[in-house]
Amino acid sequence: MSPGAGKPAARARAVACARGAAPWLLMAALALALLGVDYAFGKATLVATYAIAGLGVVVVVGQAGQIALGQAAMVALGAYAQAVLVGHGLPALLALPLAAAVGALGGALASLPARRLGGLYFGMSTLAFALIAEEALVRWESLTHGAAGMAVGAFTVAGWRADSSLAQALVSAAALGLALFACARLCASRHGRAWRAVRDDEVAAAACGIDPDRVRMQAFVVGGALSGLAGGLYAHWIGFISPEQFGLAFSFELLMLAFIGGARRLAGAVWGALVIVAIPQAIALLRDVLPGDWARAAGLELLLFGAVIVAVVLLRPAGLAGGEVPRPRRPEA
């Protein structure tokens, strides 16, 4: 092969990457123009943090095909682990891997009922795990301060403090990039192939020598680690955490994030996070133009969520990142 033979392929890849990045750059420029620099960077931080937590749901639900109704528990475990470790003097950068490890441990515990339960019954067990974790955080006052919550300082690395919106956005974007890279490598490995095999046909996967229980636990461990990492970052960005922040509503929000974005694509976590973060902003705009009674309605957010979900089901059944689902052809007469 001549030295210049690979140049057209490399040029094509560069053009494809540029085309893929163009929508994101356009959205970033639009957000900066409409929302202002500081506010836009603050929302970008929230999108990246939600996307990391959403990646945990994508791995468990989209890749491994399991029902996860209590993913907020792993986010809570990571957030409280980060707060406690940093409060005892551990540097924030060193505490983050430990927060992810605590989230992974929570994922492993949540997956244990899968050995005896399946389908919706297993999903209900993950919901019960989330309720137990939330109650434990409330009751363990000596460690978590109970319902009073815990204050968390800014993210600090070697004397540098991420106390501006730009710094927080950069840290969150770097963490999201690493999480996406790690998930992409895992999904392309034999572990990812085993997840998809169990998702598509558990009996056939077992016949090929794959242990479904072990594979499910691996998926929950990875998903819990991602959610724990997101929780650790979330604790720094919010600055104060309490158990009610990680209730069932947050779990369903993460599940909707994966559903709207596309649970079978890693990019679905990012698209879903964009929608989840944008909906409150859209509601604020709607309240300015709607009549008084509609603007003061308490269920406006749920109405908008429902409208988005219906639109996704009708127009993009596989999610915003998943493309359209091909419809089966009718047999010819």
Q: Is the pTM of this model over 0.85?
A: no
Work out the percent of the chain whose per-residue pLDDT is above 90: 26
Domain ranges, ordered by start, for the chain: 36-245
Highest mean pLDDT among 67-76, 203-212, 218-227, 267-276: 218-227
Asked if residue 205 lies in contact with residue 211, where contact means CB atoms within 8 angstroms, the answer is no
- Give the Cα-Cα-Cα angle 61, 233, 231 (nearest 5 degrees): 45
What span, in angstroms and rounded, lies between the C-alpha atoms of 260 and 314? 12
Average pLDDT over residues 229-233: 94
What span, in angstroms and rounded, lies between the C-alpha atoms of 269 and 321? 9
Lowest mean pLDDT among 11-15, 159-163, 270-274, 310-314: 11-15
First to last CA, the chain: 52
- Please tell me the predicted confidence (pLDDT) of residue 35: 55
Checking if the pLDDT of 278 tops 90, the result is no
What span, in angstroms and rounded, lies between the C-alpha atoms of 261 and 242? 28
Average pLDDT over residues 242-259: 87
Q: Which tens digits make up the pLDDT trace of 192-216?
A: 899 898 888 888 888 888 888 898 8
Work out the percent of the chain whose per-residue pLDDT is above 70: 80
Q: CA 294 → CA 41, 46, 82, 98, 301, distances in Å? A: 30, 28, 41, 46, 11
3-class DSSP state of 150: strand
What span, in angstroms and rounded, lies between the C-alpha atoms of 55 and 62? 10
As beta bridge partners, residue 150 has: 241
pLDDT band at 178 (very low <50, low <70, confident <90, very high): very high
> Tell me, what amino acid is at 49?
T
- Please tell me the predicted confidence (pLDDT) of residue 9: 52
Checking if the pLDDT of 27 tops 60, the result is no
Asked if residue 71 lies in contact with residue 56, where contact means CB atoms within 8 angstroms, the answer is yes
Q: Detail the DSSP E strand segments found in 158-310.
A: 160-162, 240-241
What span, in angstroms and rounded, lies between the C-alpha atoms of 293 and 271? 32
**How much is the mean pLDDT over the chain?**
81
pLDDT band at 275 (very low <50, low <70, confident <90, very high): confident
Checking if the pLDDT of 162 tops 70, the result is yes
pLDDT band at 54 (very low <50, low <70, confident <90, very high): very high
3-class DSSP state of 274: helix
Q: CA 72 → CA 25, 134, 183, 218, 260, distances in Å? A: 30, 9, 19, 18, 17
